């Protein structure tokens, strides 16, 4: 059904002004700590080489809170929150003027009627514009994953959305909308996590949820799939006094096709095909917890062709102190965790290597940048997740370089001026910027008389590598070509292990190391970036032509275990400076 959209502007609580200045380049001190957790002392090196970056406000209001975000291969961003929050920034009308979908009149007085208000929008990156969308059921604290054709599969939520399955297939004509499946999940899935599986049949595994200690598959391909599978690990890691501390478990697909699951402070390797835990890893050292509502974050570090993509290393950062949830219910906000842990999950020797961030952090997002560095952004320094459970916003992003020596990997970037606490999110864009949205620790859209009002402003953080200063070494005019082995024509889908050509231009001779990185865009919410993944691909040969043009022959990932089928952003990185990213699709051909 077609709808007419009428925007409603909310009052802004704080007046602000934006000053655009000439790009500044500063050398930052890095921080190092001793190995003993809890007695590390800050040290510094002379310089880090990392620059500060820049912040910019893109829109004064997105209309809805960016609680969940996902980048599509049409260069749009889906944002949505919860229908139960009532009145949003956009009033929906049906075909008949003043009529809603149930045939009842809609007006601005229908504050709590979710069918009258948009709680999802599509953001067009190039146009810097918003298109409101209608959600039929509540997506509050839900989960998602992209399928091989670029469709977002979205699962669970709250209330009438507990067991719902939704789809959004992006399009170029701005007419696509949410559709709801006639099939349902087996169990309620509120605060669950999704992982795209390497199957050729577009399967997704859905793990956990509030008071749900199981996993299941979407879609159901056989009679045995029509049930959920008990996962005792979720019982063992559950802390009832702390509202779980194992919700939104961290999921990472290992390059052997097995599923790494981290909850609270513990982790396992699951062979989901056999419904069997095949490995239990050491507990992460230190106190506190890492998962919701303690809400730290996690990434799988970039996989590399140099070892055949066999070394898989997971990193977990931040979280809340023990007892943080109970304390927050009494109005006390405990200091968050400042530690990160790295562990190689493949092979036979497993040990957490701990290090400290420059400060305590929770409710933080962790994104893999095109350079392979890790950006830690958003969050708070005290408390935990939940309604008004956090305090002291963490405004300074951290940049983490996994290739530097221990104790010299972190640098502090330019501080934001907008608090991004509970229900905020961040995603990487194809142009190298980071989109930051959301923040609402209140049950409804609230703009007055609260410590942290509902945040609707949309920001972009531009890392140092996009500064004009680096344009002379930045690869430009990137294009991707692939001749299908079974058809004598160019095809947009590249088969596993096949070769394809990347053509680009450099103003001067390329450096000795030019990397070709591909990145799977995640579904982000609640400090977790589901299905985020980066691979460093093999360059077979590279030929330099006249006028700076270069043709590079690249080898696609070897299998779906390494790179589940779907759309990836390919970036050419020269001397640590990335090109703009271009979309490429890997699939079973």
Query: Which pLDDT band holds residue 60 (cuts at 50, 70, 90)?
Result: very high
- Six-digit token string for 531: 């299905």
What confidence score (pLDDT) does residue 110 get?
64
Boundary (domain end) residue, out of 445, 466, 487: 466
Query: Which pLDDT band holds residue 10 (cuts at 50, 70, 90)?
Result: very low
Residue 173: DSSP 8-state: S
Does residue 442 share a domain with residue 511?
no
State the greatest distance between any 2 C-alpha atoms of the chain, in Å, as a whole number: 69
What confidence score (pLDDT) does residue 201 get?
87
Does residue 541 share a domain with residue 407?
no
The verdict on residue 1 lying in a domain is no
76 pairs with which residues across the strands?
124
What confidence score (pLDDT) does residue 516 get?
98
What confidence score (pLDDT) does residue 222 get?
78
Count: domains in the chain: 2
With a cut of 50, say whether residue 12 has pLDDT above it: no
Does residue 509 share a domain with residue 405?
no
User: Which of residues 40 and 364 earns the better pLDDT score?
Assistant: 364
List alpha helices for 425-469, DSSP H. Answer: none
pTM of the model: 0.90
Boundary (domain end) residue, out of 466, 489, 518: 466
pLDDT digits (tens, 9 = 90+) for 143-173: 999 999 999 999 999 999 999 999 999 999 9
What confidence score (pLDDT) does residue 89 get?
86
Q: What percent of the chain has pLDDT over 90?
A: 80
Contact between 256 and 346 under an 8 Å Cβ cutoff? The reply is: yes
What confidence score (pLDDT) does residue 85 get?
83
φ/ψ bin of 157: left (φ > 0), alpha (ψ from -120 to 50), beta (otherwise): left
What confidence score (pLDDT) does residue 48 get?
42
Domain with 383, as residue range(s), is: 54-466
Least confident of 59-63, 96-100, 433-437, 490-494: 96-100
Q: What percent of the chain has pLDDT over 70?
A: 87
With a cut of 80, say whether residue 55 has pLDDT above it: yes
Does residue 261 share a domain with residue 282?
yes
Least confident of 206-220, 373-387, 489-503: 489-503
Q: Which of 35, 134, 31, 42 is nearest to 80 (CA)?
A: 134
What confidence score (pLDDT) does residue 13 get?
35
The verdict on residue 82 lying in a domain is yes
pLDDT digits (tens, 9 = 90+) for 116-149: 889 999 999 999 999 999 999 999 999 999 999 9
Does residue 566 share a domain with residue 482?
yes
Boundary (domain end) residue, out of 466, 493, 526: 466
Question: Which CATH number does the domain housing residue 510 bear?
Answer: 2.60.40.10
Angle, alpha carbons 169-582-75 (nearest 5°): 35
The arithmetic mean of pLDDT across residues 87-110, rounded, is: 60
User: Which of residues 110 and 376 earns the better pLDDT score?
Assistant: 376
The arithmetic mean of pLDDT across residues 189-212, rounded, is: 96
The verdict on residue 568 lying in a domain is yes
Give CA–CA dist 9/11, Å, rounded.
7
Does residue 211 share a domain with residue 265?
yes
The arithmetic mean of pLDDT across residues 446-464, rounded, is: 96
Q: Which of 11, 43, 46, 40 is nearest to 27 (CA)?
A: 46
The verdict on residue 5 lying in a domain is no
pLDDT digits (tens, 9 = 90+) for 239-278: 999 999 999 999 999 999 999 999 999 999 999 999 999 9
The verdict on residue 23 lying in a domain is no
Query: Which pLDDT band holds residue 487 (cuts at 50, 70, 90)?
Result: very low
Query: Which pLDDT band holds residue 484 (cuts at 50, 70, 90)?
Result: low
The arithmetic mean of pLDDT across residues 436-458, rounded, is: 95
Give CA–CA dist 501/555, Å, rounded.
9
What confidence score (pLDDT) does residue 64 get?
96
Does residue 187 share a domain with residue 147?
yes
Q: State how beta strands 582-587 and 493-495 pair.
A: parallel
Does residue 321 share a domain with residue 208?
yes
The arithmetic mean of pLDDT across residues 317-324, rounded, is: 98
Does residue 288 share a domain with residue 265?
yes
CA–chain centroid gap for 300, Å, is 12
**How many C-beta neighbours within 10 Å does residue 221 have?**
13
**How many C-beta neighbours within 10 Å does residue 279 have?**
16
Does residue 479 share a domain with residue 462?
no
What confidence score (pLDDT) does residue 46 get?
31
The verdict on residue 443 lying in a domain is yes
Residue 448: HSE in the Cβ half-sphere, 13 Å Cα cutoff = 2
Contact between 91 and 108 under an 8 Å Cβ cutoff? The reply is: yes
**How many C-beta neighbours within 10 Å does residue 467 have?**
18
Does residue 409 share a domain with residue 278?
yes
């Amino acid at each position: 059904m077609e709808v007419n959209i009428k925007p409603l502007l909310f009052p802004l609580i704080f007046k602000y002004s934006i000053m655009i200045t000439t790009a500044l380049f500063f050398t930052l001190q890095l921080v190092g700590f001793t190995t003993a957790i809890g007695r590390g002392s800050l040290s510094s090196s002379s310089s880090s080489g990392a620059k500060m970056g820049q912040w910019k406000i893109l829109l004064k209001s997105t209309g809805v809170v960016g609680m969940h975000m996902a980048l599509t291969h049409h260069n749009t961003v889906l944002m949505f929150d919860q229908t139960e929050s009532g009145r949003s920034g956009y009033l929906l009308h049906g075909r008949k003027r003043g009529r809603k979908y149930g045939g009842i009149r809609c007006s601005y007085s229908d504050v709590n009627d979710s069918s009258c208000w948009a709680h999802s929008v599509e953001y067009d990156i190039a146009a810097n514009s918003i298109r409101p969308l209608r959600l039929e059921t509540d997506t509050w604290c839900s989960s998602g994953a992209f399928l091989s054709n670029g469709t977002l599969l979205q699962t669970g939520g709250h209330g009438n959305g507990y067991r719902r399955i939704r789809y959004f297939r992006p399009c170029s004509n701005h007419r696509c909308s949410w559709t709801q499946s006639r099939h349902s999940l087996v169990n309620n899935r509120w605060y669950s996590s999704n992982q795209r599986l390497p199957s050729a049949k577009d399967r997704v595994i859905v793990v956990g949820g509030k008071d749900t200690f199981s996993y299941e598959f979407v879609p159901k391909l056989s009679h045995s799939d029509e049930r959920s599978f008990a996962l005792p690990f979720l019982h063992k890691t559950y802390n009832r006094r702390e509202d779980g501390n194992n919700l939104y478990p961290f999921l990472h697909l290992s390059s052997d096709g097995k599923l790494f699951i981290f909850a609270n402070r513990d982790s396992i390797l699951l062979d989901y095909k056999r419904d069997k835990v095949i490995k239990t890893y050491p507990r992460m050292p230190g106190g506190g917890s890492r998962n919701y509502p303690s809400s730290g974050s996690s990434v799988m570090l970039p996989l590399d062709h140099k070892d055949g993509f066999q070394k898989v290393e997971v990193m977990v950062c931040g979280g809340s102190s023990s007892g943080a949830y109970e304390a927050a219910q009494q109005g006390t906000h405990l200091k968050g965790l400042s530690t990160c842990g790295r562990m190689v999950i493949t092979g036979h020797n497993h040990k957490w290597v701990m290090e400290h961030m420059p400060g305590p952090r929770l409710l933080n997002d962790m994104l893999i940048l095109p350079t392979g560095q890790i950006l830690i952004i958003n969050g708070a320094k005290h408390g935990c997740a939940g309604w008004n459970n956090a305090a002291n916003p963490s405004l300074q992003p951290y940049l983490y370089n996994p290739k530097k020596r221990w104790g010299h990997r972190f640098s502090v970037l330019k501080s934001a001026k907008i608090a991004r606490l509970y229900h905020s999110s961040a995603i990487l864009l194809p142009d190298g910027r980071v989109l930051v949205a959301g923040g609402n620790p209140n049950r409804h859209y609230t703009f007055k008389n609260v410590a942290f009002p509902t945040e609707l402003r949309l920001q972009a953080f531009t890392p140092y590598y996009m500064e004009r200063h680096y344009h002379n070494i930045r690869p430009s005019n990137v294009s991707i070509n692939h001749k299908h082995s079974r058809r004598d024509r160019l095809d947009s889908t590249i088969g596993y292990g096949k070769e394809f050509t990347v053509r680009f231009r450099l103003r001067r001779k390329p450096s000795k190391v030019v990397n070709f990185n591909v990145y799977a865009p995640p579904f982000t919410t609640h400090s977790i970036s589901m299905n985020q993944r980066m691979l460093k691909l093999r360059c077979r040969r590279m030929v330099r032509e006249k006028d700076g043009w270069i043709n590079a022959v690249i080898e696609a990932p070897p299998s779906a275990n390494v790179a589940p089928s779907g759309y990836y952003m390919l970036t050419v990185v020269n001397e640590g400076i990335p090109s703009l990213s271009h979309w490429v699709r890997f699939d079973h051909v």
